[in-house]
Amino acid sequence: MPETLTSPMIKSGSAEEMRSLEAGLDSLQSDDTSRKSFDLSRVLLPLAAFIVLLLAWQFYVSLGLRRRDLVPGPLDVLGSLGALWQAGTAQEAVGTSLQRGLIGFVISIVVATPIGLLLSQVRILRRAFGPLISGLQVLPSVAWVPAAIIWFGLTDATVYFVMFMGAIPSIINGLIAGVDQIPPQYRRVGQVLGASRWEMAVHVVLPAALPGYVGGLKQGWAFSWRSLMAAEIIAMGGSLGFGLGSLLEQGRQLADMGIVMSAILIILFVGIAVELIVFAPVEKRLLRGRGLLAGSTR
């Protein structure tokens, strides 16, 4: 590109001057904002939203448009929650479901991660199995419940199988998407630095794909938690333990709306708690460490 002739660049300034100029620029240009440790609005705002919803619910019930046993108010549900807690049923259900959810999720991660890495690196495998995996992700995993019951009977194996079919494809897909989105420049740098195939995977590909992978894990957890609930609602009895889904189904059989609503609220609450306690901090740390949070509303 031709440039207009301005003064040529020549050496100017002593080494000393340049050194202090540089130090000045460095301190001007580097980002030294200290981080706020904790923001109270993160707790207060969701709490306020929750209370507004509760009030709206109470208001609707107090209008008396529906029978109270069909549409219980917040206080009624609180009462049956208390009763469930007193009897120890709530704790048992949460314990059983959380334990299953955790075991199933961990096994899903262990199975899905190497498969995802392999598919993202080997083109033939990707071409062959990619569509199948995407399809499996779209297929509601509840659809596997009847087959699982026929194969495994009313045992824990049925529940786990359904969870795997829900979680594994989405973790694999998340990892593949993460690898696909790596800027090609990173691989070139790895190559220039003399990385072997293995070093490239460990030091470049995996860390670069981490945000996508964590996104996949998050979705994998959502899928496995949903699948677990579905499996527990449909498959009861046998050697199956008593989980939250079972509690929900029991409420339906007893036509006890208080239990049904309690179970739904507990399921929702566990989902929110896992998101807030596990995934949100991990994701936030990851993104902030890479300077990707500026300007987002998180």
Partner 1 sequence: MTEALAEKVDADRGAASATAVDGEGRAPVVVLENLGKRFGSGPPVLEDVNATVYQGEFVALLGASGCGKSTLLNLISGLDMPTSGAMEVPVGGAAFMFQDSALFPWRTARGNVELALKLRGVGKAERKARATELLDLVHLGHSSDKRPHELSGGMRQRVALARSLAQDRPLLLMDEPFAALDAITRDLLHNELERIWKETGRTIIFVTHNVREAVRLGQRVLLLSSKPGRVVAQWQVSEEHRTNAGAAGELTAEITARLREEIRRHA
Rule CB under 8 A: which residues touch partner 1?
A: 1-3, 5-13, 15, 18-19, 21-23, 25-26, 29-31, 185-186, 188-195, 199, 203-204, 207-208, 210, 289-292
DSSP string, 165-194: HHHHHHHHHHHHHHHHTS-HHHHHHHHHTT
Residue 120 Cβ vs partner 1, minimum distance, rounded to whole Å? 18
Residue 36 vs 67, nearer CB to partner 1: 36
Q: Amino acid identity, residue 114?
A: P
Q: How far is the CB of 19 from partner 1 (least distance, A)?
A: 7
Q: Provide the minimum distance between the beta carbon of 224 and partner 1 in the complex, in angstroms, as a whole number.
A: 27
In sign, the C-alpha dihedral spanning 282, 287, 291, 294 is negative
CB of 5 to partner 1, least distance (A): 6
Query: How many angstroms from the chain centroid is the CA of residue 134?
Result: 18
Least Å distance, CB 70 to partner 1, is 54
Closer residue to partner 1, CB minimum distance, 115 or 208: 208
For residue 273, how many C-alpha atoms fall within 13 Å in the half-sphere facing its CB? 9
Which lies closer to partner 1 via its Cβ, residue 64 or residue 295?
Answer: 295
Burial class (CB in 10 A: 0-12, 13-18, 19+), 296: exposed
Contact (Cβ atoms closer than 8 angstroms) between residue 260 and residue 176: no
- Residue 261 CB, shortest distance to partner 1, in Å, is 44
Is the CB of 58 or the CB of 181 nearer to partner 1? 181
Closest among 206, 143, 137 to 178, alpha carbons compared: 206
In the bound complex, what is the minimum distance in angstroms from residue 30's beta carbon to partner 1? 6
How is residue 128 written in tokens? 């062959």
CB nearer to partner 1: pick between 204 and 217:
204
Residue among 204 and 257 whose Cβ is closer to partner 1:
204
Whether 145 and 235 have beta carbons less than 8 Å apart is answered as yes
Does residue 167 contact residue 220 with C-beta atoms inside 8 Å? Answer: yes
Q: What is the DSSP letter of 22?
A: H
Indicate the residue among 194 and 237 with the shorter CB distance to partner 1. 194
Structure tokens at 222: 């959502």
* Alpha-carbon torsion angle 82, 86, 87, 92, nearest 10: 80
